[in-house]
Amino acid sequence: MIDLKASGHRAMGLCVAFTLSVLSANTAPADEAKCKLTPEDKAANAKLSFDEFDQMGVTASTWRALEEAGCHKLAVEAAEDYLVNGPVLTPSAKSDVLFHIAQSLAFDGDNPGAALMVTAAIPPGRDNHGDLDWTTYLIGTWAFLAKDRARLDAAATKVAAEPGNGNRIDGDVLKGLAACFDKPYAKAYVDCRPPLPKH
């Protein structure tokens, strides 16, 4: 099991990797050949660590692999089953899985369902993930989904002002959501943020 607070740099790198991969994956139609999830797949997922299932997507039936293939509904189903049948997760890992369910719902156009899942992902103590201002990022995402413009703008400003590359990236995501406030989440998340820096 991975504790994100203890491995913040690694987790942040994986989050950035997801951000980069999702930029192309969620603008294309689902890869139907990869959209499958059997009872055997769910049983195999339940044996995976959080890192393997959520962050790395080591098999085609994990949340990450299904989401990157554009299989939003199956990604939600895989993550839901993992929460029920998988290992006991740390609070920060569970927050990640819940938030990723929210993202899959939002990419599929279900803003009310996504907003509800984002609220479930807010840590009970409103803790951060290492150096990330995680709670403010979640509140900003919720505000976009719930169409609360003032709260989204406040969250975007707060996260962008926090130190660290992860907060800059999350701040840019929230700025993108604000810039395309009336667009679908997939469009706002992918197309409306400031451009990623070139390395």
Give domain limits for the chain: 8-191
Question: Which structure tokens are listed for 43?
Answer: 């049983």
Over 80: is that where the pLDDT of 18 sits? no
Please report, as a single letter, which amino acid is at residue 131: D
Select 8-191's CATH number: 1.20.140, 1.10.150, 3.40.50, 1.25.40. 1.25.40
Distance CA 20, CA 147 (A): 25
Beta-bridge partners for 129: 132
| Mean local confidence (pLDDT), 179-184 | 97
Distance CA 6, CA 130 (A): 7
Give the residue among 93, 101, 8, 68 at the shortest CA–CA distance from 190: 68
Distance CA 113, CA 10 (A): 29
pLDDT at residue 131 in the model: 87
DSSP classification of residue 129: B
| Mean local confidence (pLDDT), 70-78 | 97
pLDDT at residue 158 in the model: 96
Distance CA 96, CA 37 (A): 21
DSSP H or E segment with residue 75: helix 72-85
Give pLDDT tens digits for 36-56: 999 999 999 999 999 999 999
Of 125-129, 135-139, 157-161, 187-191, give the lowest mean pLDDT range. Answer: 125-129
Question: Which structure tokens are listed for 118?
Answer: 């984002």
Split at pLDDT 50, 70, 90, the class of 29 is low
Distance CA 115, CA 109 (A): 11
Residue 197, classified by CB atoms within 10 Å of its CB into exposed (0-12), middle (13-18) or buried (19+), is exposed
Give pLDDT tens digits for 78-131: 999 999 999 999 999 999 999 999 999 999 999 999 999 999 999 987 766 778
Distance CA 114, CA 165 (A): 26
CB-based contacts of 13: which residues, under 8 Å, 6+ apart? Answer: none
CB-based contacts of 110: which residues, under 8 Å, 6+ apart? Answer: none
| Mean local confidence (pLDDT), 24-35 | 65
Beta-bridge partners for 132: 129
